[in-house]
Structure 1
Amino acid sequence: MSGRREPVPFAFVAEADRFRSNVTPPSPQRASAGQLAGRLLLGLTIVAALVGSLMLGMPALSLDHSSTAPEHSQASEGH
């Protein structure tokens, strides 16, 4: 057992800073042409959906300034 006491409850947490591995991780594999095409298609689909929703939503968000006079209902004119 070690003679010193660690301030953490687990000794491996305190000694994790000193650990050095001699094993190099494998290099990441390159994406295939099909995977790149799929990612590109997915990205274009998302962008097209956002642009389409913006184009359809803009008329609903715009204020109508063409009618300056307040409109009266027919029920209020009869009385």
Structure 2
Amino acid sequence: MFRRRESVPFAFVAEADQFRSNVTPPPRERASASQLAARSLVGLTVVAGLVGSLVLGIPALSPQSASHPQQTEAADGH
């Protein structure tokens, strides 16, 4: 068969479909109950942090309400 004259990484990728392995990887271990609880606790902590930052950040980013009008020098009449 025609062989390509390419650099090593590309030639290896091009010929990679010819090599098949009959070795199957070992089955993955199932996570224990404590590992599942730790993962869910970390996830809940991250979500709570994001929600807390939104709760504290949205009022700071909103424009000032009418109860706190801005005063400028032109409005003071100086």
Same fold (TM over 0.5): yes
Offset, 1:21: 0.7
Please tell me the residue identity of whatever aligns with 1:65.
S
- Where does residue 7 of structure 1 map in the other structure? 5
Distance across 1 between alignment mates of 2:51 and 2:6: 53
Instruction: Give the unaligned 5+ runs of structure 1.
Output: none
Identity over the aligned pairs, expressed in percent? 58
The RMSD of aligned alpha carbons is 2.7
Normalized against structure 2, the TM-score is what?
0.72
Offset, 1:58: 1.3
- Where does residue 71 of structure 1 map in the other structure? 71
Number of residue pairs the alignment of both structures matches: 74
Instruction: Give the unaligned 5+ runs of structure 2.
Output: none
- Where does residue 43 of structure 2 map in the other structure? 43
Question: 1:13–1:56: structure 2 CA closer, same or farther, 3 Å change rule?
Answer: closer
